[in-house]
Structure 1
Amino acid sequence: MTNTPIRIGVLTSGGDAPGMNAAVRAVVRTGISHGCEVYAIYEGYKGLIQGGTLIRRMDWSSVGGIIQRGGTIIGTARSAEFRTREGRRQAAANLVTLGIDRLVIIGGDGSLTGADLFRREWPELLAELVAAGTISEAQAAAHPHLRIAGIVGSIDNDFCGTDMTIGADTALHRITEAIDAISSTAASHQRTFVIEVMGRNCGYLALMGAIAGGADWAFIPEMPPQMDDWEQHMCDVLRIGREHGRRDSIVVVAEGACDRHGKPITAHYVKKVLEERLGEDTRVTILGHVQRGGAPSAFDRWMSSLLGATAVEELLNADADAEPKLIGLRENRVVRLPLMTCVSDTRQVAEAIAQHDYERAIAMRGNSFVEAYRTLGTLIQSQPSPPDRLRRGHRFAVMHSGGPAPGMNTAVRAAVRIGIDRGHTMLGVRNGFQGLIDGDIFEMDWMSVSGWATMGGAELGTNRKIPQGSELYQIARNIERFGIDGILMIGGWAGYQAAYKLYSERHIFPAFNIPIICLPATIDNNLPGSELSLGADTALNSIVHAVDRIKQSAVASRRCFIVEVMGRDCGYLALMSGLATGAERVYLPEEGINLRTLQSDLDEMMEWFRRGKRLSLIIRNEKANPIYTTSFICSLFEEEGGKLFEVRQAILGHLQQGGDPSPFDRIQATRLAVRCIEFLIEHADRQEPVGAFIGYRGGKVQVHPIEDMPRLMDPVHARPREQWWLALRQMTRLLTTPPVFHQVEQK
């Protein structure tokens, strides 16, 4: 007698969101890898009630090739019938008949609330079904409890307990792409555009879209304008901005925005105000469902995969009567939280807005939301706040070092405007530490960084120069000559080394006794004290977009693609792009490559192609092995594959460093730059200024003493000694290799 396998159901409900398919794929493959049977419930709760062909068992290939697709392949629908006792009883009957007693629900607060009610009623529903003769007592006894794990799928990012919900990052991509495109035509004609974005009771998309797009004004539901005559205040700020040289004005309006009396602030009303009071040619763009559609971003792919896999593990390990959990994300870490507590907190935000208790509403969104709102208030000013005459202003230098990384310009813009607004002089250093040596330093004003929020590259210039010998003396002289009271270095490992060099030479050069702080900016994501660096998310999206196109080109024939990505001796881009694209194999410098690995991977690939597979994808870091190069592996696989499949290589190169920064990189650049300026202001007057580096660690922004740099770094490979993302290595294997692959098929 064999044991009946655990059976898990997965459904998507409510509005669709990019990344849902990645979550469904992860649920199905993780469940199969753990020996479970996984069923997809099509059309949400409607399918749960109708049953039949709408509840289908999935195999490994059922979810192949869906990670890059938007929407949800298993469909979603709102079901009024599930809100009734009769509807839930029929849903229970369908599940018990199939032996399913574990559910992963991917949806919004209404979907997750319905799931919890279903779970609590489960024993009573089964008793009613037994009494009616619909199911047997044995069937009911075999499934006495219903286990639930919830994942939030919502582009609005309106759910408490998780920093990001599935689809929100992709929606931000659509919004910033639209703002970037509109800004260019607006500047050409000196027009004003009012852009309406989704959000209902949550202003996340409007707020972060305004920061990422460099907008000039924004309206969000959580914090209406402070004054009744907000119309005049807005017009005054926009008019002054035009007088100072701004050629366009962008106003972002959340669809749920209102004034302090609850009166809706619509995009068309804002347009009317601007036309009547400023006499400007104003246009309205309502983005609508374009925000919800399209291929998911790299972040939504790997995050959704992580959440889906974790949801299955939660269902397998939780006690039978355990409270259902929300599987969410805090920064880059998965968290498990009481589901209904999160639902309750989410609804309290909406209630606070309805009661006009806006301070409470915005506070419940979290510190990072409040901080972002305050920062936007400074960035959108047409000119800095009047200086405090009683307070001495400092002179802070901003510079780059290392390779260019998307987000560098965004960080400079935020640093310059925040610094000037707080009464300080901001100096730009051209061409990294070479500019500090040459004295290529100039004062930056408010409008000198206009438009920098969206620009890729490094407008100040950058290189990998690390000063030595007499060059340190030249830097000391220029620090004294220009009266520099602190330095913000935005860059990569070379910049960190150079900053550490200055700090270490303070006993020789007194001029170096100023606060110095390093902000991580490199696509390699290989810096100490920060789990994420500016530019890495943009590079990851560039890789994912390229691989999507590569996969499309392979449809007509059986091909293996070997894609080489950057990263130096850090495999972050390789592993995360492998997770986001569904690559079968990822080769990392941390693990290396040997002949035995290549032979095993080749054997497996050949077996896949014999079974009808049409595409195989391998991601290789540029320094995974000095001998087994991309070209070598390509030639090896092509020779051994014979006529079974073709092999092609794609070396993505510097396209990974280029392009405009992603919304994620723009937002984090702004957030970190604000913290860095606050650090310089705090330490500029201290007798013993310190050196430091900033970053995200353990879900929080942390500042580390520069003395810790050698302890945290592996100097031989120029990467952190601890790399959080390596813990995801096993998941990439689990989601790409079926557990039964190596079993011999019986004829």
Structure 2
Amino acid sequence: MAKTARLGVLTSGGDAQGMNAAVRSAVRAALERKAEVFGIFEGFQGMIEGGNLIRPFSWDSVGGVLQEGGTLLGTARSPDFLRREGRKEAVYNLLLQGINRLIVIGGDGSLTGAQVLREEWRSLLEELVAEGRLEPSYLEEFGFLTVAGLVGSIDNDMFGTDLSIGTDSALHRITEALDAITSTAASHQRAFVVEVMGHHCGHLALMGALASGADFALIPESPPNLDEWEERMCSILRTGREMGRRDSIVVVAEGAQDRHGNAISSAYVEEVLTKYLEEEARVTVLGHVQRGGSPSASDRVMATLLGAAAAEAVLNAKSSDEAVLIGFENNKIVHSSLTECVEQTHKVGRCIHECRFDEAMEYRGKAYKDSFRILRTLIRANPRPPPPNKRRLRVAVMTGGAPAPGMNAATRAVVRMLEDNGHIPLGVKWGFRGLIDDDIEEMNWMAVNGWAPTGGSELGSSRKTPEGAELYAAAQVLEKHGVDAIVMIGGWAGYHAAHKLYEERHNFPAFDIPIICIPASINNNLPGSELSIGADTALNSIVEVVDKIKQSAVALNRCFIVEVMGRYCGYLALMSAIATGAERVYLHEEGITLKDLERDIELLR
């Protein structure tokens, strides 16, 4: 029997992009700790069948899988595991290899199964000993099972983590599809219904609609709050066309329903649009394309960090420790009770099934509710009229510094939220240079239509910081337009210029107004935020290119050096190195010496 720790790693349930990254990380982190690692193929079914489906893994067993979609371990639904006899066989096959530590990567059902196995482990072991299939010594040496769960599911419906492995990649697929559909829909002035996955969670539909600038979304947790929702939806779409939109995009979650619990299918929404809009509508069901393909940079990095944390957790666990779920909350790794996470997840499902939608939204959390509230505002055909006697603030909106992907989406949200709350957005062209030159005009709801998916900055940007007489000119422009506040979306140069205005408040009263900075820089080097707008897109661009370079490098047995941007911040370099499996990364924060280079050259040889 084993003297060193032995652990098994399996993937179960539906596959999700990033599972391979998690498996790779867990295996190598455990091997680094001198543990013995076994790959369990075909999920819980492989555990039941045993034999060659439970194999020892080495460092190289998980080489070259980081960028691969699906799961190298395979996955399968296992009806046998639902029965106690099936779970007994699973325990037997694990103990034949001396395994009593498990890392399970899967969704709600898989993690529930892992929790049940842990609870029954001792009694199943006692039965196996009583039947004479295992020696009595196993009771002392393997009397407990340690479990660490990672949520691998595109649905993002599990408690204990803000984002599950695979969700970000699925959103990439959805956004790409919606962008493509939008262009053809606008060309023909058509309505499209796009159905996305998610089971009974509307995360993919909600975030996909936000990211693409869709015109309507139907999610399970918060159905339309009136019986004649069909007419209301079509009224919004019809008014949008009258305002100048050339397309109508409706995103439907596969678990969407009305407030009475009746399912809302994409086919039914198509019928409704055809009837009320009196035009031809089209349906696109994205299906399993959302689950397939290479994982995004974010999924690779997150899965890598979670996999290493899971290995650490199961190897450090004691017999009295409960099963844990390793998740990401507020961009940090957290350990939660697997039992509690499973129970809370089931509560949401019950709330939706019983039409207790307010409770379901509460369980989803504040960020989810805020996202839905923002979407409901952004999809309006036009803003709500300002309340009588309300003071309407005049807010200047600009972009500053180098352009970053997502600037236009942020500008669109700021302009529409301001106007919907009765205020007046003023677009400043070319950043602070436009402020100096009085290049300002009022913006309205439709001025930012179609901006969500576009790159660059439609307002134009610059690295200009007002100096000397330019400060006086900027102050005059603010006074001329009666500007009450400034929203600057940009990078370090924009922050510096905004701070310059703040410093000059004692000389220029026009600068004594609220100045809000929204971080937008691929460098991700701005204070007050862990992630800047644009950094994730830049990281995905790097990873996509490096994946191609790796193919050439392998074919030619050649070493490639890849230089990335970031100025004096190593974020892009470090994260792309993790996401692509680079052999070495050099960071400004770390520095580099000739001895470092000599050592690295020897390692590469």
TM-score under structure 1 normalisation? 0.80
1:671-682 paired onto structure 2 within 5 Å = none
**What code does the residue aligned with 1:133 have?**
G
**What code does the residue aligned with 1:504 have?**
E
Q: Distance in 2 between matches of 1:98 and 1:270?
A: 53
Instruction: Please tell me whether the aligned partners of residues 524 and 568 of structure 1 are also in contact (alpha carbons under 8 angstroms).
Output: yes
Q: Distance in 1 between matches of 2:98 and 2:168?
A: 36
Q: Which residue of 2 aligns with 1:379?
A: 378
Q: Which residue of 1 aligns with 2:188?
A: 189
Instruction: Please tell me whether the aligned partners of residues 148 and 324 of structure 2 are also in contact (alpha carbons under 8 angstroms).
Output: yes
Q: Distance in 1 between matches of 2:162 and 2:8?
A: 26
Q: Which residue of 2 aligns with 1:36?
A: 35
Q: Which residue of 2 aligns with 1:502?
A: 501
**Secondary structure of 1:382's partner?**
coil
Instruction: Please tell me whether the aligned partners of residues 153 and 166 of structure 1 are also in contact (alpha carbons under 8 angstroms).
Output: yes
Instruction: Please tell me whether the aligned partners of residues 160 and 326 of structure 2 are also in contact (alpha carbons under 8 angstroms).
Output: no
**What code does the residue aligned with 1:26 have?**
S
Unpaired stretches in structure 2, ≥5 consecutive residues: none
Q: Which residue of 1 aligns with 2:231?
A: 232
**Secondary structure of 2:178's partner?**
helix
Q: Which residue of 2 aligns with 1:563?
A: 562
Q: Distance in 2 between matches of 1:463 and 1:4?
A: 64
**Secondary structure of 2:554's partner?**
coil
Q: Distance in 1 between matches of 2:105 and 2:117?
A: 15
Instruction: Please tell me whether the aligned partners of residues 147 and 321 of structure 1 are also in contact (alpha carbons under 8 angstroms).
Output: no
**What code does the residue aligned with 2:361 have?**
I
Q: Distance in 1 between matches of 2:279 and 2:413?
A: 28
1:434-583 paired onto structure 2 within 5 Å = 434-583=433-582
**Secondary structure of 1:570's partner?**
coil
Are residue 363 (structure 1) and residue 362 (structure 2) matched? Answer: yes
Are residue 334 (structure 1) and residue 330 (structure 2) matched? Answer: no
**Secondary structure of 1:563's partner?**
coil
CA apart distance, 1:331: 2.9
**What code does the residue aligned with 1:268 have?**
A
CA apart distance, 1:555: 3.2
Q: Which residue of 2 aligns with 1:85?
A: 84
Task: Spell out, residue by residue over 1:167-187, the C-alpha distance to the aligned partner (whole angstroms, 9 max, x if none).
Answer: 111110000000000000000
Q: Which residue of 2 aligns with 1:720?
A: none
**Secondary structure of 1:587's partner?**
coil
Deviates more, 1:202-211 or 1:315-324: 315-324
Instruction: Please tell me whether the aligned partners of residues 385 and 422 of structure 1 are also in contact (alpha carbons under 8 angstroms).
Output: yes
Q: Which residue of 1 aligns with 2:113?
A: 114
Q: Which runs of 4+ in 1 moved over 3 A?
A: none
Q: Distance in 2 between matches of 1:164 and 1:239?
A: 35
Q: Distance in 2 between matches of 1:196 and 1:229?
A: 21
Q: Distance in 1 between matches of 2:386 and 2:465?
A: 36
Q: Distance in 1 between matches of 2:336 and 2:442?
A: 49
1:295-334 paired onto structure 2 within 5 Å = 295-334=294-333
**What code does the residue aligned with 1:7 have?**
R
CA apart distance, 1:556: 2.2
1:127-276 paired onto structure 2 within 5 Å = 127-276=126-275
Task: Spell out, residue by residue over 1:436-476, the C-alpha distance to the aligned partner (whole angstroms, 9 max, x if none).
Answer: 00000011110000000111101111111111111110010
**What code does the residue aligned with 2:378 have?**
L
**Secondary structure of 2:562's partner?**
strand
CA apart distance, 1:557: 1.9
Q: Distance in 1 between matches of 2:373 and 2:421?
A: 13
Task: Spell out, residue by residue over 1:536-589, the C-alpha distance to the aligned partner (whole angstroms, 9 max, x if none).
Answer: 000000000001111122232211111110000000000000001111100000
Are residue 411 (structure 1) and residue 410 (structure 2) matched? Answer: yes
Deviates more, 1:211-220 or 1:319-328: 319-328
Q: Distance in 2 between matches of 1:576 and 1:58?
A: 26
**Secondary structure of 1:11's partner?**
strand
Instruction: Please tell me whether the aligned partners of residues 400 and 488 of structure 2 are also in contact (alpha carbons under 8 angstroms).
Output: yes
Q: Which residue of 2 aligns with 1:743?
A: none
Instruction: Please tell me whether the aligned partners of residues 97 and 139 of structure 1 are also in contact (alpha carbons under 8 angstroms).
Output: no
Percent of pairs identical after alignment? 60
CA apart distance, 1:3: 8.2
CA apart distance, 1:280: 1.5
**What code does the residue aligned with 2:194 have?**
I
Q: Distance in 2 between matches of 1:350 and 1:71?
A: 26
**Secondary structure of 2:561's partner?**
strand
**What code does the residue aligned with 1:488 have?**
V
**Secondary structure of 1:77's partner?**
coil
**What code does the residue aligned with 1:317 have?**
N
Task: Spell out, residue by residue over 1:89-116, the C-alpha distance to the aligned partner (whole angstroms, 9 max, x if none).
Answer: 1111111121111000001111111111
Q: Distance in 1 between matches of 2:468 and 2:317?
A: 61
**Secondary structure of 2:129's partner?**
helix
**What code does the residue aligned with 1:169 have?**
D
**What code does the residue aligned with 1:149 have?**
A
Are residue 592 (structure 1) and residue 591 (structure 2) matched? Answer: yes
Q: Distance in 1 between matches of 2:245 and 2:362?
A: 33
Instruction: Please tell me whether the aligned partners of residues 48 and 54 of structure 1 are also in contact (alpha carbons under 8 angstroms).
Output: yes
Q: Which residue of 1 aligns with 2:421?
A: 422
Q: Distance in 2 between matches of 1:400 and 1:289?
A: 38
**What code does the residue aligned with 2:138 have?**
Q
Q: Distance in 2 between matches of 1:227 and 1:388?
A: 24
Q: Distance in 2 between matches of 1:378 and 1:556?
A: 51
**Secondary structure of 1:269's partner?**
helix
**Secondary structure of 2:513's partner?**
coil
Q: Distance in 1 between matches of 2:486 and 2:337?
A: 44
Q: Distance in 2 between matches of 1:533 and 1:294?
A: 26
Task: Spell out, residue by residue over 1:473-492, the C-alpha distance to the aligned partner (whole angstroms, 9 max, x if none).
Answer: 00100000011000000001
Instruction: Please tell me whether the aligned partners of residues 195 and 252 of structure 1 are also in contact (alpha carbons under 8 angstroms).
Output: yes
CA apart distance, 1:139: 2.9
Are residue 100 (structure 1) and residue 110 (structure 2) matched? Answer: no
**Secondary structure of 2:104's partner?**
strand
**Secondary structure of 1:228's partner?**
coil
Q: Distance in 1 between matches of 2:128 and 2:160?
A: 36
Q: Distance in 1 between matches of 2:331 and 2:263?
A: 36
Task: Spell out, residue by residue over 1:498-550, the C-alpha distance to the aligned partner (whole angstroms, 9 max, x if none).
Answer: 11111111111011111001000000000111111000000000000001111
1:634-713 paired onto structure 2 within 5 Å = none
Q: Which residue of 2 aligns with 1:664?
A: none
Unpaired stretches in structure 1, ≥5 consecutive residues: 607-747
Q: Would the alpha carbon gap of residues 3 and 248 (structure 1) be closer, same or farther in structure 2, given more than 3 Å must change? A: closer
Instruction: Please tell me whether the aligned partners of residues 96 and 140 of structure 1 are also in contact (alpha carbons under 8 angstroms).
Output: no
CA apart distance, 1:4: 2.0
**What code does the residue aligned with 1:66 have?**
V
Deviates more, 1:515-524 or 1:461-470: 461-470
CA apart distance, 1:318: 2.0
**Secondary structure of 2:559's partner?**
strand
Q: Distance in 1 between matches of 2:100 and 2:273?
A: 57
Q: Distance in 2 between matches of 1:121 and 1:52?
A: 22
Task: Spell out, residue by residue over 1:681-711, the C-alpha distance to the aligned partner (whole angstroms, 9 max, x if none).
Answer: xxxxxxxxxxxxxxxxxxxxxxxxxxxxxxx
Count how many residue pairs are aligned between Structure 1 and Structure 2. Answer: 605
Q: Which residue of 1 aligns with 2:123?
A: 124
Are residue 76 (structure 1) and residue 65 (structure 2) matched? Answer: no
Q: Distance in 2 between matches of 1:67 and 1:476?
A: 53
**What code does the residue aligned with 1:517 have?**
I
**What code does the residue aligned with 2:235 have?**
D
**What code does the residue aligned with 2:174 have?**
I
Q: Distance in 2 between matches of 1:466 and 1:416?
A: 24
**Secondary structure of 2:569's partner?**
coil
**What code does the residue aligned with 1:152 have?**
V
Q: Distance in 2 between matches of 1:511 and 1:271?
A: 53
**What code does the residue aligned with 1:109 have?**
D
Q: Distance in 1 between matches of 2:41 and 2:229?
A: 48
**What code does the residue aligned with 2:400 have?**
S
